[in-house]
Structure 1
Amino acid sequence: MKLSALFIALIPLLGSPVIHAETTAAPVLENRAAQGDITTPGGARRLTGDQTEALRASLINKPAKNVILLIGDGMGDSEITAARNYAEGAGGFFKGIDALPLTGQYTHYSLDKKTGKPDYVTDSAASATAWTTGVKTYNGALGVDIHENAHQTILELAKAAGLATGNVSTAELQDATPAALVAHVTSRKCYGPTVTSEKCPSNALEKGGKGSITEQLLNARPDVTLGGGAKTFAETATAGECRAKPCASRRKRAATRL
Protein backbone atom coordinates (compact mmCIF):
# COMPACT_ATOMS: atom_id res chain seq x y z
CA MET A 1 0.00 0.00 0.00
CA LYS A 2 1.25 3.45 -0.90
CA LEU A 3 1.65 5.79 2.02
CA SER A 4 1.90 9.56 1.85
CA ALA A 5 2.29 12.17 4.52
CA LEU A 6 1.83 15.91 4.71
CA PHE A 7 3.72 17.72 7.44
CA ILE A 8 2.66 21.22 8.51
CA ALA A 9 4.74 22.74 11.26
CA LEU A 10 3.64 25.37 13.77
CA ILE A 11 0.16 25.51 12.30
CA PRO A 12 -2.18 28.09 13.85
CA LEU A 13 -4.96 27.31 11.40
CA LEU A 14 -6.74 24.80 13.61
CA GLY A 15 -8.52 26.75 16.29
CA SER A 16 -10.71 23.92 17.52
CA PRO A 17 -9.76 21.49 20.31
CA VAL A 18 -7.26 18.86 19.25
CA ILE A 19 -6.43 15.31 20.29
CA HIS A 20 -3.49 15.09 22.66
CA ALA A 21 -1.14 12.32 21.52
CA GLU A 22 0.13 11.52 25.02
CA THR A 23 -3.04 11.75 27.09
CA THR A 24 -3.24 9.39 30.07
CA ALA A 25 -6.35 10.96 31.55
CA ALA A 26 -8.66 8.61 29.72
CA PRO A 27 -7.46 5.00 30.18
CA VAL A 28 -10.87 3.76 29.08
CA LEU A 29 -9.97 4.92 25.57
CA GLU A 30 -6.57 3.24 25.53
CA ASN A 31 -7.88 -0.30 25.28
CA ARG A 32 -11.00 -1.04 23.33
CA ALA A 33 -10.48 -4.77 22.96
CA ALA A 34 -13.39 -7.03 23.83
CA GLN A 35 -12.74 -8.15 27.41
CA GLY A 36 -15.21 -10.99 27.78
CA ASP A 37 -16.06 -14.28 26.15
CA ILE A 38 -17.24 -13.25 22.69
CA THR A 39 -19.46 -16.35 22.50
CA THR A 40 -21.65 -15.10 25.37
CA PRO A 41 -24.24 -12.29 25.24
CA GLY A 42 -22.42 -8.99 25.66
CA GLY A 43 -19.01 -10.66 25.54
CA ALA A 44 -17.93 -8.73 22.46
CA ARG A 45 -18.74 -5.36 24.03
CA ARG A 46 -15.76 -3.00 23.72
CA LEU A 47 -16.94 -0.03 25.77
CA THR A 48 -19.17 0.26 28.82
CA GLY A 49 -20.64 3.25 30.59
CA ASP A 50 -20.66 6.94 29.72
CA GLN A 51 -17.68 8.00 27.58
CA THR A 52 -18.26 11.76 27.86
CA GLU A 53 -15.59 12.51 30.45
CA ALA A 54 -13.07 10.21 28.80
CA LEU A 55 -13.52 12.00 25.49
CA ARG A 56 -13.35 15.43 27.13
CA ALA A 57 -10.11 14.49 28.90
CA SER A 58 -8.53 13.50 25.59
CA LEU A 59 -8.91 17.01 24.15
CA ILE A 60 -6.78 20.09 24.64
CA ASN A 61 -8.53 23.39 24.06
CA LYS A 62 -5.76 25.13 22.13
CA PRO A 63 -4.43 25.16 18.54
CA ALA A 64 -2.25 22.30 17.34
CA LYS A 65 1.47 23.06 17.14
CA ASN A 66 2.21 20.55 14.39
CA VAL A 67 0.05 18.45 12.08
CA ILE A 68 1.09 15.18 10.41
CA LEU A 69 -1.51 13.85 7.97
CA LEU A 70 -0.97 10.20 7.01
CA ILE A 71 -2.74 8.89 3.91
CA GLY A 72 -2.98 5.17 3.22
CA ASP A 73 -3.90 5.17 -0.47
CA GLY A 74 -6.93 2.93 -0.95
CA MET A 75 -7.20 2.30 2.78
CA GLY A 76 -10.56 2.40 4.52
CA ASP A 77 -12.52 0.75 7.31
CA SER A 78 -12.71 -2.54 5.41
CA GLU A 79 -8.93 -2.80 5.05
CA ILE A 80 -8.35 -1.86 8.70
CA THR A 81 -10.93 -4.41 9.82
CA ALA A 82 -9.36 -7.16 7.71
CA ALA A 83 -5.92 -6.36 9.15
CA ARG A 84 -7.28 -6.29 12.71
CA ASN A 85 -9.09 -9.59 12.29
CA TYR A 86 -5.94 -11.21 10.93
CA ALA A 87 -3.53 -9.77 13.49
CA GLU A 88 -5.62 -9.55 16.65
CA GLY A 89 -8.75 -11.62 16.10
CA ALA A 90 -12.41 -10.60 15.91
CA GLY A 91 -12.41 -9.02 19.37
CA GLY A 92 -8.96 -7.50 18.92
CA PHE A 93 -7.61 -4.01 19.19
CA PHE A 94 -4.82 -1.99 17.54
CA LYS A 95 -3.09 0.06 20.25
CA GLY A 96 -2.51 2.91 17.82
CA ILE A 97 -5.38 3.62 15.44
CA ASP A 98 -8.10 2.06 17.63
CA ALA A 99 -7.09 4.25 20.59
CA LEU A 100 -8.02 7.46 18.77
CA PRO A 101 -11.04 8.87 20.63
CA LEU A 102 -12.67 10.44 17.58
CA THR A 103 -13.12 9.30 14.00
CA GLY A 104 -14.90 10.74 11.00
CA GLN A 105 -15.88 10.05 7.42
CA TYR A 106 -16.29 12.01 4.23
CA THR A 107 -18.16 11.07 1.08
CA HIS A 108 -16.22 8.91 -1.35
CA TYR A 109 -17.80 9.66 -4.73
CA SER A 110 -16.30 11.77 -7.50
CA LEU A 111 -18.16 13.68 -10.24
CA ASP A 112 -18.78 13.01 -13.89
CA LYS A 113 -16.97 15.72 -15.86
CA LYS A 114 -19.71 16.13 -18.46
CA THR A 115 -22.85 15.87 -16.34
CA GLY A 116 -21.62 16.86 -12.88
CA LYS A 117 -23.51 13.89 -11.45
CA PRO A 118 -21.96 11.55 -8.86
CA ASP A 119 -19.52 8.91 -10.04
CA TYR A 120 -19.73 6.33 -7.27
CA VAL A 121 -16.35 4.72 -8.01
CA THR A 122 -13.66 7.32 -7.37
CA ASP A 123 -9.92 7.12 -7.98
CA SER A 124 -6.93 8.37 -6.01
CA ALA A 125 -6.71 11.63 -7.97
CA ALA A 126 -10.30 12.77 -7.44
CA SER A 127 -10.27 11.54 -3.85
CA ALA A 128 -6.99 13.32 -3.08
CA THR A 129 -8.26 16.52 -4.71
CA ALA A 130 -11.26 16.37 -2.37
CA TRP A 131 -9.22 16.17 0.83
CA THR A 132 -6.52 18.60 -0.32
CA THR A 133 -8.84 21.32 -1.68
CA GLY A 134 -12.33 20.53 -0.37
CA VAL A 135 -13.61 20.35 -3.95
CA LYS A 136 -15.17 17.37 -5.72
CA THR A 137 -13.86 16.64 -9.21
CA TYR A 138 -13.76 14.00 -11.94
CA ASN A 139 -11.61 10.86 -11.87
CA GLY A 140 -8.07 11.60 -13.02
CA ALA A 141 -8.09 15.30 -12.17
CA LEU A 142 -5.62 16.81 -9.72
CA GLY A 143 -6.23 20.10 -7.96
CA VAL A 144 -8.89 21.24 -10.43
CA ASP A 145 -12.69 21.05 -10.50
CA ILE A 146 -14.88 19.62 -13.28
CA HIS A 147 -14.48 22.93 -15.15
CA GLU A 148 -10.67 22.61 -14.92
CA ASN A 149 -10.37 25.57 -12.56
CA ALA A 150 -7.50 25.28 -10.07
CA HIS A 151 -8.17 25.33 -6.31
CA GLN A 152 -5.68 26.03 -3.54
CA THR A 153 -4.44 23.00 -1.60
CA ILE A 154 -3.85 22.69 2.12
CA LEU A 155 -0.09 22.61 1.51
CA GLU A 156 -0.32 25.83 -0.50
CA LEU A 157 -2.43 27.41 2.25
CA ALA A 158 0.16 26.42 4.83
CA LYS A 159 3.03 27.86 2.79
CA ALA A 160 1.08 31.08 2.21
CA ALA A 161 0.72 31.36 5.99
CA GLY A 162 4.48 31.10 6.37
CA LEU A 163 4.48 27.58 7.80
CA ALA A 164 7.02 24.83 7.22
CA THR A 165 5.68 21.96 5.08
CA GLY A 166 6.69 18.54 3.84
CA ASN A 167 5.44 16.00 1.32
CA VAL A 168 6.68 12.42 1.79
CA SER A 169 5.57 9.33 -0.13
CA THR A 170 6.53 5.69 -0.60
CA ALA A 171 5.38 6.07 -4.23
CA GLU A 172 6.52 8.44 -6.97
CA LEU A 173 6.15 12.08 -6.01
CA GLN A 174 4.14 12.48 -9.22
CA ASP A 175 1.69 9.79 -8.12
CA ALA A 176 -1.85 11.06 -7.62
CA THR A 177 -1.89 11.14 -3.82
CA PRO A 178 1.28 13.18 -3.13
CA ALA A 179 0.86 15.17 -6.36
CA ALA A 180 -2.56 16.42 -5.26
CA LEU A 181 -0.85 18.59 -2.65
CA VAL A 182 1.25 20.54 -5.15
CA ALA A 183 -0.21 20.19 -8.66
CA HIS A 184 -3.17 21.40 -10.71
CA VAL A 185 -3.52 19.34 -13.89
CA THR A 186 -6.40 17.98 -15.93
CA SER A 187 -4.97 14.44 -15.92
CA ARG A 188 -3.00 12.54 -13.29
CA LYS A 189 -0.90 11.03 -16.10
CA CYS A 190 0.86 14.32 -16.85
CA TYR A 191 4.00 13.57 -14.86
CA GLY A 192 6.51 15.45 -17.02
CA PRO A 193 6.72 18.04 -19.84
CA THR A 194 6.48 15.54 -22.72
CA VAL A 195 3.24 13.81 -21.75
CA THR A 196 1.76 17.11 -20.51
CA SER A 197 2.15 18.65 -23.97
CA GLU A 198 0.23 15.67 -25.39
CA LYS A 199 -2.43 14.86 -22.78
CA CYS A 200 -2.77 18.12 -20.81
CA PRO A 201 -2.03 20.85 -23.37
CA SER A 202 -3.87 23.53 -21.39
CA ASN A 203 -1.49 22.86 -18.48
CA ALA A 204 1.72 22.90 -20.55
CA LEU A 205 4.14 25.74 -19.86
CA GLU A 206 4.42 26.58 -23.57
CA LYS A 207 0.64 27.13 -23.59
CA GLY A 208 0.72 29.43 -20.57
CA GLY A 209 -0.24 26.72 -18.08
CA LYS A 210 1.29 25.79 -14.74
CA GLY A 211 3.30 22.95 -16.26
CA SER A 212 3.53 19.24 -15.58
CA ILE A 213 3.21 17.70 -12.13
CA THR A 214 7.01 17.61 -11.81
CA GLU A 215 7.38 21.27 -12.81
CA GLN A 216 4.66 22.32 -10.39
CA LEU A 217 6.33 20.29 -7.65
CA LEU A 218 9.50 22.31 -8.21
CA ASN A 219 7.51 25.54 -7.99
CA ALA A 220 5.62 24.50 -4.86
CA ARG A 221 8.87 23.55 -3.12
CA PRO A 222 7.76 22.03 0.21
CA ASP A 223 10.51 22.34 2.81
CA VAL A 224 10.89 18.56 2.86
CA THR A 225 10.16 16.39 -0.19
CA LEU A 226 10.90 12.66 -0.17
CA GLY A 227 9.74 10.01 -2.63
CA GLY A 228 10.34 8.29 -5.95
CA GLY A 229 9.93 9.53 -9.50
CA ALA A 230 13.49 10.61 -10.33
CA LYS A 231 13.13 9.42 -13.93
CA THR A 232 10.68 12.20 -14.79
CA PHE A 233 13.10 14.85 -13.55
CA ALA A 234 15.43 13.82 -16.39
CA GLU A 235 12.90 14.90 -19.04
CA THR A 236 13.75 17.96 -21.12
CA ALA A 237 11.66 21.01 -20.31
CA THR A 238 9.75 22.50 -23.25
CA ALA A 239 9.38 26.00 -21.81
CA GLY A 240 10.20 28.10 -18.77
CA GLU A 241 13.55 28.86 -17.19
CA CYS A 242 14.88 25.37 -17.93
CA ARG A 243 13.77 25.18 -21.55
CA ALA A 244 15.78 22.58 -23.50
CA LYS A 245 17.33 21.41 -20.22
CA PRO A 246 16.39 18.49 -17.95
CA CYS A 247 13.97 19.33 -15.15
CA ALA A 248 16.66 17.89 -12.87
CA SER A 249 18.88 20.91 -13.53
CA ARG A 250 16.35 23.11 -11.79
CA ARG A 251 16.00 20.58 -8.99
CA LYS A 252 19.77 20.69 -8.37
CA ARG A 253 19.77 24.49 -8.25
CA ALA A 254 16.88 24.42 -5.78
CA ALA A 255 18.75 21.93 -3.60
CA THR A 256 21.84 24.13 -3.71
CA ARG A 257 19.84 27.14 -2.54
CA LEU A 258 18.36 25.11 0.29
Structure 2
Amino acid sequence: MKISITNIGFLPGVFAVTSDANPIYTPIDMLDSDFNKRYVSQGIVTIFSMELAPTTQDKDVSYVAIAGHNFGDVGGLLEVYVGSSPAPVVGSVQFEQGTRNNVVMITFPRVTTPEVIGIRFIKDDSKGQVLISNIQMGLTFDFVDPVNSAEPMGYKRIWLQQVSYARATIKQAAQPIKSEQERRANKMSLSIPNLQGDDFNIKRVPEHSNMYDFLFKISLDTLWYLKEYDGSSIVADNPRSSYLCFDTNMVMSAHSSTRALNNMKLTFSAYTGI
Protein backbone atom coordinates (compact mmCIF):
# COMPACT_ATOMS: atom_id res chain seq x y z
CA MET A 1 0.00 0.00 0.00
CA LYS A 2 1.30 3.45 -0.92
CA ILE A 3 0.01 6.85 0.13
CA SER A 4 0.89 10.29 -1.15
CA ILE A 5 2.77 12.43 1.35
CA THR A 6 3.57 15.50 -0.76
CA ASN A 7 2.04 17.40 -3.64
CA ILE A 8 4.63 19.60 -5.30
CA GLY A 9 3.64 23.18 -6.02
CA PHE A 10 3.10 24.46 -9.52
CA LEU A 11 3.33 27.87 -11.11
CA PRO A 12 1.55 29.08 -14.27
CA GLY A 13 3.78 28.31 -17.24
CA VAL A 14 5.49 25.42 -15.47
CA PHE A 15 2.56 23.03 -15.87
CA ALA A 16 1.08 23.28 -19.35
CA VAL A 17 -1.11 21.37 -21.81
CA THR A 18 1.05 20.48 -24.82
CA SER A 19 -1.49 18.77 -27.11
CA ASP A 20 -5.26 19.15 -27.66
CA ALA A 21 -5.25 22.33 -25.59
CA ASN A 22 -8.50 24.22 -25.09
CA PRO A 23 -8.16 28.03 -24.75
CA ILE A 24 -11.44 28.21 -22.82
CA TYR A 25 -9.92 26.41 -19.82
CA THR A 26 -6.90 27.05 -17.59
CA PRO A 27 -4.45 24.15 -17.00
CA ILE A 28 -3.72 25.24 -13.44
CA ASP A 29 -7.34 24.38 -12.53
CA MET A 30 -6.41 20.68 -12.75
CA LEU A 31 -4.10 21.21 -9.78
CA ASP A 32 -6.78 22.76 -7.58
CA SER A 33 -8.51 20.76 -4.85
CA ASP A 34 -11.87 22.29 -5.85
CA PHE A 35 -13.68 19.79 -8.08
CA ASN A 36 -15.92 22.56 -9.40
CA LYS A 37 -12.88 23.49 -11.47
CA ARG A 38 -11.87 21.27 -14.36
CA TYR A 39 -10.08 21.19 -17.69
CA VAL A 40 -11.70 19.86 -20.87
CA SER A 41 -9.57 19.17 -23.95
CA GLN A 42 -10.63 20.59 -27.30
CA GLY A 43 -11.14 17.23 -28.98
CA ILE A 44 -9.36 17.80 -32.29
CA VAL A 45 -6.35 15.43 -32.12
CA THR A 46 -5.78 11.90 -30.84
CA ILE A 47 -3.31 12.74 -28.04
CA PHE A 48 -4.18 14.91 -25.06
CA SER A 49 -0.98 15.66 -23.13
CA MET A 50 0.45 17.92 -20.46
CA GLU A 51 3.90 18.39 -18.95
CA LEU A 52 5.54 19.66 -15.80
CA ALA A 53 8.47 21.62 -17.19
CA PRO A 54 11.92 21.64 -15.54
CA THR A 55 12.20 24.03 -12.60
CA THR A 56 15.13 25.68 -10.89
CA GLN A 57 14.07 24.15 -7.57
CA ASP A 58 14.55 20.41 -7.20
CA LYS A 59 11.31 18.62 -6.37
CA ASP A 60 11.13 14.87 -5.94
CA VAL A 61 8.34 12.92 -7.62
CA SER A 62 7.43 9.23 -7.36
CA TYR A 63 3.74 9.27 -8.27
CA VAL A 64 1.13 10.87 -10.51
CA ALA A 65 -2.51 10.62 -9.41
CA ILE A 66 -5.62 11.71 -11.31
CA ALA A 67 -9.23 11.96 -10.10
CA GLY A 68 -12.45 13.37 -11.52
CA HIS A 69 -11.73 12.33 -15.11
CA ASN A 70 -13.70 10.72 -17.94
CA PHE A 71 -11.04 8.37 -19.35
CA GLY A 72 -13.48 5.46 -19.26
CA ASP A 73 -16.11 7.41 -21.19
CA VAL A 74 -13.67 8.44 -23.93
CA GLY A 75 -11.57 5.27 -24.06
CA GLY A 76 -7.82 5.20 -24.56
CA LEU A 77 -4.39 4.67 -23.02
CA LEU A 78 -3.09 6.79 -20.15
CA GLU A 79 0.70 7.07 -19.95
CA VAL A 80 3.12 8.83 -17.61
CA TYR A 81 6.63 9.52 -18.91
CA VAL A 82 9.78 11.07 -17.47
CA GLY A 83 12.50 12.87 -19.40
CA SER A 84 12.96 14.49 -22.79
CA SER A 85 11.73 13.02 -26.07
CA PRO A 86 11.81 10.14 -26.67
CA ALA A 87 10.93 9.82 -23.00
CA PRO A 88 10.52 6.41 -21.35
CA VAL A 89 7.05 5.51 -20.10
CA VAL A 90 7.11 4.77 -16.36
CA GLY A 91 3.48 3.66 -16.02
CA SER A 92 0.29 3.22 -18.00
CA VAL A 93 -3.40 2.31 -17.67
CA GLN A 94 -5.71 1.14 -20.45
CA PHE A 95 -9.30 2.41 -20.32
CA GLU A 96 -11.78 0.58 -22.50
CA GLN A 97 -14.56 2.84 -23.74
CA GLY A 98 -17.62 2.53 -21.52
CA THR A 99 -15.71 1.42 -18.40
CA ARG A 100 -15.55 3.10 -15.00
CA ASN A 101 -13.64 6.31 -14.42
CA ASN A 102 -11.58 4.98 -11.53
CA VAL A 103 -9.22 7.21 -9.61
CA VAL A 104 -5.72 6.22 -10.75
CA MET A 105 -2.36 6.51 -9.03
CA ILE A 106 0.73 5.59 -11.04
CA THR A 107 3.89 5.07 -8.98
CA PHE A 108 7.47 4.83 -10.24
CA PRO A 109 11.09 5.12 -9.03
CA ARG A 110 11.84 8.49 -7.49
CA VAL A 111 12.94 11.23 -9.89
CA THR A 112 13.96 14.83 -9.30
CA THR A 113 12.94 17.69 -11.53
CA PRO A 114 14.47 19.33 -13.67
CA GLU A 115 13.36 16.15 -15.42
CA VAL A 116 10.27 16.68 -17.57
CA ILE A 117 7.29 14.77 -16.16
CA GLY A 118 4.54 14.23 -18.69
CA ILE A 119 1.02 12.82 -18.83
CA ARG A 120 -0.64 11.82 -22.07
CA PHE A 121 -3.93 10.17 -22.93
CA ILE A 122 -4.01 8.49 -26.33
CA LYS A 123 -7.69 8.58 -27.24
CA ASP A 124 -9.56 5.92 -29.19
CA ASP A 125 -11.28 8.75 -31.08
CA SER A 126 -9.60 12.08 -31.79
CA LYS A 127 -12.93 13.86 -31.31
CA GLY A 128 -13.21 12.72 -27.70
CA GLN A 129 -12.97 15.53 -25.15
CA VAL A 130 -11.02 14.53 -22.04
CA LEU A 131 -12.06 16.01 -18.70
CA ILE A 132 -9.78 16.19 -15.64
CA SER A 133 -10.58 17.77 -12.26
CA ASN A 134 -7.54 16.95 -10.11
CA ILE A 135 -3.92 15.97 -10.66
CA GLN A 136 -1.28 15.51 -7.97
CA MET A 137 2.42 14.70 -8.22
CA GLY A 138 4.91 14.17 -5.42
CA LEU A 139 6.34 11.55 -3.10
CA THR A 140 4.82 8.40 -1.63
CA PHE A 141 5.80 5.99 1.08
CA ASP A 142 4.78 2.45 1.96
CA PHE A 143 2.18 2.30 4.70
CA VAL A 144 3.21 -0.77 6.67
CA ASP A 145 3.39 -2.01 10.23
CA PRO A 146 6.84 -0.76 11.38
CA VAL A 147 7.30 -3.79 13.65
CA ASN A 148 5.91 -6.64 11.57
CA SER A 149 6.79 -5.17 8.15
CA ALA A 150 3.32 -6.02 6.88
CA GLU A 151 0.52 -3.99 5.37
CA PRO A 152 -2.45 -3.06 7.58
CA MET A 153 -5.23 -5.62 7.31
CA GLY A 154 -8.99 -5.41 7.39
CA TYR A 155 -9.50 -2.18 5.46
CA LYS A 156 -12.32 -1.89 2.96
CA ARG A 157 -11.54 -2.25 -0.73
CA ILE A 158 -13.95 0.44 -1.82
CA TRP A 159 -12.30 0.82 -5.21
CA LEU A 160 -14.15 -2.38 -6.11
CA GLN A 161 -17.63 -1.12 -5.23
CA GLN A 162 -20.09 1.45 -6.52
CA VAL A 163 -20.79 4.68 -4.67
CA SER A 164 -24.57 4.62 -5.18
CA TYR A 165 -26.73 3.53 -2.27
CA ALA A 166 -30.32 2.31 -2.39
CA ARG A 167 -32.73 3.19 0.38
CA ALA A 168 -35.99 1.27 0.57
CA THR A 169 -39.15 2.46 2.25
CA ILE A 170 -41.09 -0.40 3.78
CA LYS A 171 -44.59 -0.73 5.11
CA GLN A 172 -45.68 -2.26 8.37
CA ALA A 173 -45.38 -5.83 7.07
CA ALA A 174 -41.72 -5.16 6.17
CA GLN A 175 -42.55 -5.16 2.45
CA PRO A 176 -40.75 -2.62 0.23
CA ILE A 177 -42.97 0.04 -1.31
CA LYS A 178 -40.41 2.54 -2.63
CA SER A 179 -36.70 2.60 -3.43
CA GLU A 180 -34.52 5.67 -3.85
CA GLN A 181 -30.91 6.09 -4.98
CA GLU A 182 -28.46 8.53 -3.44
CA ARG A 183 -24.73 9.13 -3.84
CA ARG A 184 -22.44 9.94 -0.95
CA ALA A 185 -18.77 9.66 -0.13
CA ASN A 186 -17.57 6.38 1.31
CA LYS A 187 -16.45 6.51 4.93
CA MET A 188 -13.16 4.74 5.54
CA SER A 189 -10.86 3.89 8.42
CA LEU A 190 -7.26 2.74 8.45
CA SER A 191 -5.43 1.50 11.54
CA ILE A 192 -1.65 1.74 11.83
CA PRO A 193 -0.35 -0.08 14.93
CA ASN A 194 3.03 -0.29 16.66
CA LEU A 195 4.27 3.24 16.04
CA GLN A 196 7.12 4.66 18.07
CA GLY A 197 6.16 7.49 20.40
CA ASP A 198 8.78 9.85 19.00
CA ASP A 199 7.31 9.49 15.51
CA PHE A 200 4.60 11.91 16.62
CA ASN A 201 6.71 14.42 18.49
CA ILE A 202 6.85 17.00 15.70
CA LYS A 203 9.64 18.99 17.36
CA ARG A 204 11.90 15.94 17.35
CA VAL A 205 11.10 14.54 13.91
CA PRO A 206 13.20 16.00 11.09
CA GLU A 207 11.26 17.75 8.35
CA HIS A 208 12.33 15.23 5.72
CA SER A 209 10.72 12.41 7.70
CA ASN A 210 8.00 10.57 5.79
CA MET A 211 5.74 10.42 8.83
CA TYR A 212 6.21 14.13 9.48
CA ASP A 213 5.28 14.95 5.88
CA PHE A 214 2.14 12.87 6.09
CA LEU A 215 1.05 14.26 9.46
CA PHE A 216 1.58 17.80 8.23
CA LYS A 217 -0.42 17.07 5.08
CA ILE A 218 -3.47 15.69 6.87
CA SER A 219 -3.29 18.41 9.53
CA LEU A 220 -4.09 20.89 6.76
CA ASP A 221 -7.07 18.72 5.72
CA THR A 222 -5.72 18.51 2.20
CA LEU A 223 -6.39 15.83 -0.39
CA TRP A 224 -4.21 12.73 -0.43
CA TYR A 225 -4.21 9.53 -2.45
CA LEU A 226 -4.00 5.89 -1.43
CA LYS A 227 -3.04 3.02 -3.73
CA GLU A 228 -3.47 -0.53 -2.50
CA TYR A 229 -1.69 -2.64 -5.15
CA ASP A 230 1.62 -0.88 -5.77
CA GLY A 231 3.55 -3.78 -7.31
CA SER A 232 5.76 -4.32 -4.27
CA SER A 233 3.60 -7.16 -2.96
CA ILE A 234 2.72 -10.56 -4.39
CA VAL A 235 -0.05 -9.06 -6.50
CA ALA A 236 0.53 -7.15 -9.71
CA ASP A 237 0.64 -3.37 -9.81
CA ASN A 238 -2.86 -1.91 -10.25
CA PRO A 239 -3.16 1.89 -10.57
CA ARG A 240 -6.96 1.52 -10.40
CA SER A 241 -6.76 0.20 -6.81
CA SER A 242 -6.68 3.82 -5.68
CA TYR A 243 -8.89 6.46 -4.18
CA LEU A 244 -8.78 10.10 -3.20
CA CYS A 245 -8.95 10.76 0.55
CA PHE A 246 -10.25 13.88 2.29
CA ASP A 247 -11.91 15.09 5.52
CA THR A 248 -9.31 13.16 7.52
CA ASN A 249 -9.27 12.74 11.29
CA MET A 250 -6.51 11.10 13.32
CA VAL A 251 -6.93 9.42 16.71
CA MET A 252 -3.98 8.18 18.77
CA SER A 253 -4.31 5.50 21.43
CA ALA A 254 -1.94 3.71 23.79
CA HIS A 255 -0.69 0.27 22.81
CA SER A 256 -2.31 -2.56 24.75
CA SER A 257 1.01 -4.21 25.62
CA THR A 258 3.63 -1.50 26.04
CA ARG A 259 3.88 2.22 26.73
CA ALA A 260 6.67 2.49 24.15
CA LEU A 261 4.29 2.04 21.20
CA ASN A 262 1.20 3.81 19.93
CA ASN A 263 -1.68 2.90 17.66
CA MET A 264 -3.02 5.37 15.13
CA LYS A 265 -6.43 5.28 13.49
CA LEU A 266 -7.34 7.43 10.51
CA THR A 267 -10.94 8.05 9.53
CA PHE A 268 -11.65 9.79 6.26
CA SER A 269 -13.99 10.13 3.31
CA ALA A 270 -12.96 8.61 0.00
CA TYR A 271 -13.73 9.24 -3.65
CA THR A 272 -13.16 6.36 -6.07
CA GLY A 273 -14.54 7.75 -9.32
CA ILE A 274 -17.02 4.91 -9.76
Q: Tell whether the structures are fold-level matches, with TM greater than 0.5.
A: no
Give me the TM-score of the superposition, normalised by structure 2. 0.25
Give me the TM-score of the superposition, normalised by structure 1. 0.26
RCO higher in 1 or 2 (8 Å CA, sep ≥ 6)?
A: 2
Structure having the higher helix fraction is 1
